[in-house]
Structure 1
Amino acid sequence: MLVGTVYADWAYAFVVYDGNTYVISKELVGQSQIGSLIGKVTKYSDREGTYSGNFSNRYPKGTEYYEIIGIKVHEAIAVKEKDGLFIKATYRGEYGGSRYDWISYLPYVIVVLLLLFGGFIMKRKFIR
């Protein structure tokens, strides 16, 4: 009997940006080709699974994504390595996980609950 958690290896290193998967290449991107900051890794895991947000199986939370000048974001992006170099990540397709983390919805849930609670209190106040 197998006890404990079994981890599978990912087929390749990647980042997820805006719901799309980008495979990490070995190609460096020159500083002069780096455009605007477009996002950051919001979740890292080396355990195979489906995650939400700007997820990566290679880079830690906070790793930055940049546009590459002259290349559409839907084709490739640059990922900033910890040593300050930029590596090209090529578009692979849509990511199977959610684009948003549940925490993204939390403020809306709180507002709705407060409105419902406030309405309930007001209704009870006027019924008396």
Structure 2
Amino acid sequence: MKWRDTLKKLLFLLIALCLAGTFFAIRSVHADWAYSFVVYERKAYIISDNRVEPEQVDSIIGKVTKYSDHEGTYSGNFSNHFPKGTKYYNIKGVNISEAIAIKLSDGSYIKAVYQGEYPGGASFEWANILWSIAGLFMLVVVTFIVIKKRK
């Protein structure tokens, strides 16, 4: 009878630790970024101080789909500086692996210089949470099966 009480306490402790881990894993942290940037197709571009003349701007290639000033990695065309909807453009004669133009709210353009591949993926993804819940559920089921078989 004593081993059942011990098993129940261990199970309770395990569940409490899993819930606490989930809470701390999904909390967001406000951060001051080292620099302003945009992400276009998993490529990170640092915002420069260099303006791009309108006649140098070519076609639109994308736009910001997610803005956040909270530390983390995000999927999609993300920015830590520009709001959702801000447009990205090709610069005539410049490969997008070197730089792109960003349209500012006043209609002017600024150059964003390619920094490297962006890791992508959200720090908070529903798939990860669902797998955690499924794993916890399976652990509880297996524990109850073991307890029932020992009766």
TM-score, length of structure 1 as denominator length: 0.72
- Residue of structure 2 equivalent to 1:50: 73
Query: What do the CA deviations read for 1:6-29 (whole angstroms, capped 9, x no partner)?
Result: 422111000000110000001000
What secondary structure does 1:84 align onto?
coil
1:98 Cα deviation (Å)? 3.0
What secondary structure does 2:70 align onto?
coil
Give the counterpart letter for 2:97 in structure 1: H
Within the alignment, does 1:77 sit opposite 2:103 as a pair?
Answer: no
Within the alignment, does 1:22 sit opposite 2:45 as a pair?
Answer: yes
Equivalent pairs: percent with the same residue? 60
Note if contact 2:29-2:70 (Cα within 8 Å) is conserved in structure 1: no
1:5 Cα deviation (Å)? 5.9
- Residue of structure 2 equivalent to 1:40: 63
Query: What do the CA deviations read for 1:26-65 (whole angstroms, capped 9, x no partner)?
Result: 1000001000000000000011111000000000000000
Note if contact 1:77-1:89 (Cα within 8 Å) is conserved in structure 2: yes
Segments of structure 2 that go 5 or more residues without pairing to the other structure are: 1-26, 126-151
Segments of structure 1 that go 5 or more residues without pairing to the other structure are: 103-128
What secondary structure does 2:97 align onto?
coil
1:96 Cα deviation (Å)? 1.1
Figure out how many residues of one structure are paired with residues of the other and give that number: 97
- Residue of structure 1 equivalent to 2:32: 9
Note if contact 1:19-1:98 (Cα within 8 Å) is conserved in structure 2: no
Distance in 2 between residues matched to 1:84 and 1:6, nearest whole Å: 32
The runs of at least 4 aligned residues of structure 1 exceeding 2 Å deviation read none
Distance in 2 between residues matched to 1:67 and 1:95, nearest whole Å: 19
Distance in 2 between residues matched to 1:49 and 1:12, nearest whole Å: 14
- With 6-15 and 87-96 compared, the bigger mean Cα shift is at 6-15
1:97 Cα deviation (Å)? 1.1
Question: What is the RMSD of the two structures over their aligned residues, measured on CA atoms?
Answer: 1.8
Distance in 2 between residues matched to 1:76 and 1:89, nearest whole Å: 6
**Higher alpha-carbon Rg:** 2
Give the counterpart letter for 1:63 in structure 2: T
TM-score, length of structure 2 as denominator length: 0.61
